[in-house]
Structure 1
């Protein structure tokens, strides 16, 4: 896996889509126990909830295999990984979790042809929790997995909105 800038990943996705190749994105909300997943539509405008993967210290190879399967199934061009950016420049425990997972996935070598970028995930889980709270879900595991899945949607949707807005702005400047 190769880390690239957010704009570069989106440009790559648009170019591959024009060539009828891999052109969708996978959003990740990385937690200590689960990784929430969301996938973009074919036009890369809307993020859709996908699933949640369990995360343990021993299942990284299985996770890499799952990602490889998703790359094929959804024609994925890259990953948008939620990252808790800190304005003070300090590394939070959540940021360490994200960096560890990405590093472990890279070490497997199974996703070498995939690019990824980090995207600000601050407050996504809190927003989703506030939305789910009125539903009064009783199963704590179901609540947690739904929170992670929809946090991935928020991360990916924020990225798509920002990149599409920048693209429209650039196009308007050319006119």
Structure 2
């Protein structure tokens, strides 16, 4: 896995031939779960996909799951939510980077690019949207929250890069 700047990830997709193009995957990394969202083939709309259980002992399994998703859904890159804070490194940001480093060390995701995207308040925003649904089961509501937080991260990224691409095309 290789880090690239947010716009570079999208430029790489835009420059690819129709046959080489693919989708992006968004991740909301938490203590226990990783919410997963997928983009459409035009990379304009993010949709909830799944939630993976996160443990130190299952990094190889998680990397294999991503490997399967990559081939099955033509995934070309990761957009990973990370809380940006200009003043200090937050513990949440550290846990995200630890997960990405562990996934990279498995060597199962070689050649895949990733970027970070600001996830500040995505879980809180999704929580407010889901509150009227009165989801009673705590695990069920948590996994729905994680999936939709991943959607918020990926959709925020897609909106930004698509807007930038339109602006560059008109200049």
TM-score category of the 2 structures, normalised to the smaller one? over 0.9
- Structure 1 runs (4+) greater than 3 angstroms displaced: none
In the other structure, the counterpart of 2:149 is 151
**How far apart are residue 22 of structure 1 and its match?**
3.9
In the other structure, the counterpart of 2:33 is 34
RMSD of equivalent CA atoms: 0.8
CA shift digits 1:114-171 (9 cap, x unpaired)? 1000000000000000000010000000111111000000000000000000000011
Report how many aligned residue pairs link the two structures.
171
**How far apart are residue 87 of structure 1 and its match?**
2.1
For residues 84-163 of structure 1, the aligned pairs below 5 Å read 84-88=83-87, 90-163=88-161
Distance (Å, rounded) in 1 between the aligned partners of 2:69 and 2:21:
12
**How far apart are residue 14 of structure 1 and its match?**
1.6
Q: TM-score, normalised to structure 2's length?
A: 0.98
1:172 aligned onto 2:160: no
**Equivalent pair of 1:9/1:115 in contact (CA under 8 Å):** yes
Partner secondary structure for residue 42 of structure 2: coil
**How far apart are residue 19 of structure 1 and its match?**
3.4
Where does the alignment leave 5 or more consecutive residues of structure 1 unmatched?
A: none
Distance (Å, rounded) in 2 between the aligned partners of 1:145 and 1:4:
28
1:3 aligned onto 2:11: no
Partner secondary structure for residue 7 of structure 1: helix
Partner secondary structure for residue 38 of structure 1: strand
Where does the alignment leave 5 or more consecutive residues of structure 2 unmatched?
A: none
**How far apart are residue 21 of structure 1 and its match?**
1.5
**How far apart are residue 23 of structure 1 and its match?**
1.5
Distance (Å, rounded) in 1 between the aligned partners of 2:160 and 2:121:
17
